[in-house]
Amino acid sequence: MGRQPCCDKVGLKKGPWTAEEDKKLINFILNNGQCCWRAVPKLAGLLRCGKSCRLRWTNYLRPDLKRGLLSQCEEKMVIDLHAQLGNRWSKIASHLPGRTDNEIKNHWNTHIKKKLKKMGIDPITHKPISTVTDEPQTQQQPEQLQHQKEEEQKQQQASLTDTVSEIDQSKELETEASLQSSSFTEAKEEDKSMTSPFDPMELMNGFCIDEVPIIEPHEILVQCAPSSSTSTSSSTCSNSSNLFQDLQFPDFEWPCDYNNSSNNSMGLWNDDLSSWDLLINDDGDTADFQSFSESVSKNGFGSRILGI
């Protein structure tokens, strides 16, 4: 006897979501909030499994998602958190506002893993690959290099600490800060016990110049226009924030940052409020929604945000 399926899959649709399905799901959740995913497909008129709906909403339709490539800082955080937490993507994602576990997992598998391997670092153990197999060689590492490496890590720690405080200033982060701190402490401890032939400068350069796309966060995230903006294609943070708040969806917590006018990194949803107009307006024609949905879909936002 196998486990019962999460839902009756007979007649249920699988595969990529269509614009129409997205629209139904968004409208339903905006009107009813997130509750009982099992019931959502029926109530929303979708031929999907509840799990599928939850996944679609959580990973792609949620308004608080940030899209586009991970910034250097985010990538560093992912690497460090992965060193601490392993493949617990949801935990890692919880420290990166606007990022989903799936997104981070994919980015890890497609980008960071390769990058680390290229640098001679085992993406699983976060230790230099060569030290595992070539212990004697590591003992010959010059003391000077070791010192240099420690300096680099101090800088990295400072950098990351700044990043952390910029990204999330919640109370939970205080705990995280200690985690980060201990993380680097542990990393240092590791380095004391293991020396490696790889060049730390190369490592840092790898992150900053050669490997990571040179995209600053402000280039990825759309700047908020002044409140008096007359732009038709983009809206202010405060506007979108108000919109969401005004809707007062049950069981949905809007990140407090949306209220912070100084925070201009909301990303996707403050970028184009007209998209939301399409969503909340049932009269919006399908063609408009199609274009919106396409922008939500694969490559859409990243490309748009990056101005490609």
Partner DNA sequence: AATCATGTCAACCGCCTAAGG
Partner DNA sequence: GCCTTAGGCGGTTGACATGAT
Hey, which bits of the chain come out as E strands? none
Interface with DNA (CB under 7 A), residue from 6, 43, 208, 256 = 6
**CA Rg value for the chain:** 22
Dihedral angle computed from the Cα positions of residues 189, 194, 200 and 202, in that order, rounded to the nearest 10 degrees: -140
Q: Which one, 41 or 128, has the nearer CB to DNA?
A: 41
Q: How far is the CB of 106 from DNA (least distance, A)?
A: 4
The alpha carbon dihedral of 262, 264, 265, 270 has a sign of positive
Are the beta carbons of 238 and 273 closer than 8 angstroms?
Answer: no
Q: What angle do CA 127, 98, 31 make, to 5 degrees?
A: 150
What is the amino acid identity at position 54? R
Q: How far is the CB of 35 from DNA (least distance, A)?
A: 6
Cα(6)–Cα(302) distance, rounded to whole angstroms? 33
Q: Which one, 40 or 129, has the nearer CB to DNA?
A: 40
Q: Which one, 87 or 281, has the nearer CB to DNA?
A: 87
Are the beta carbons of 2 and 27 closer than 8 angstroms?
Answer: no
Contact positions with DNA (CB under 7 A) in 167-226 = none
Q: How far is the CB of 115 from DNA (least distance, A)?
A: 10
Interface with DNA (CB under 7 A), residue from 27, 30, 107, 280 = 107
Interface with DNA (CB under 7 A), residue from 27, 30, 64, 105 = 105
For 33: left if phi > 0, alpha if psi spans -120 to 50, otherwise beta; the answer is left
Stretch that binds DNA, among 103-111, 157-165, 197-205, 243-251 (CB under 7 A): 103-111
**Stretch 242-281: interaction string toward DNA, x if CB under 7 A:** ----------------------------------------
Stretch that binds DNA, among 81-89, 115-123, 147-155, 212-220 (CB under 7 A): 81-89
Cα(48)–Cα(62) distance, rounded to whole angstroms? 18
Stretch that binds DNA, among 142-150, 165-173, 232-240, 294-302 (CB under 7 A): 294-302
DSSP label at residue 3? P
SS (H, E, C) 15-73: CCCCHHHHHHHHHHHHHHCCCCCCCHHHHHCCCCCHHHHHHHHHHHHCCCCCCCCCCHH
Answer yes or no whether residue 56 interacts with DNA by CB under 7 A.
yes
The count of other CB atoms within 10 Å of the CB of residue 207 is 16
Answer yes or no whether residue 87 interacts with DNA by CB under 7 A.
yes
Q: Which one, 115 or 149, has the nearer CB to DNA?
A: 115
Stretch that binds DNA, among 73-81, 109-117, 154-162, 203-211 (CB under 7 A): 109-117
Interface with DNA (CB under 7 A), residue from 33, 45, 47, 59 = 59
Answer yes or no whether residue 110 interacts with DNA by CB under 7 A.
yes
Contact positions with DNA (CB under 7 A) in 14-53 = 14-17, 35-38, 48-52
Answer yes or no whether residue 62 interacts with DNA by CB under 7 A.
no
The phi, psi pair for 207, rounded to 5°, reads: -70, -45
Write the CB contacts of 150 (distance below 8 Å, at least 6 apart in sequence): 188, 191
Q: Which one, 38 or 154, has the nearer CB to DNA?
A: 38
Are the beta carbons of 245 and 43 closer than 8 angstroms?
Answer: no
Q: How far is the CB of 46 from DNA (least distance, A)?
A: 11
Binding site for DNA (CB under 7 A): 2-4, 6, 9, 13-17, 35-38, 48-52, 54-56, 59-60, 87-91, 101-103, 105-107, 109-111, 114, 297-299, 302
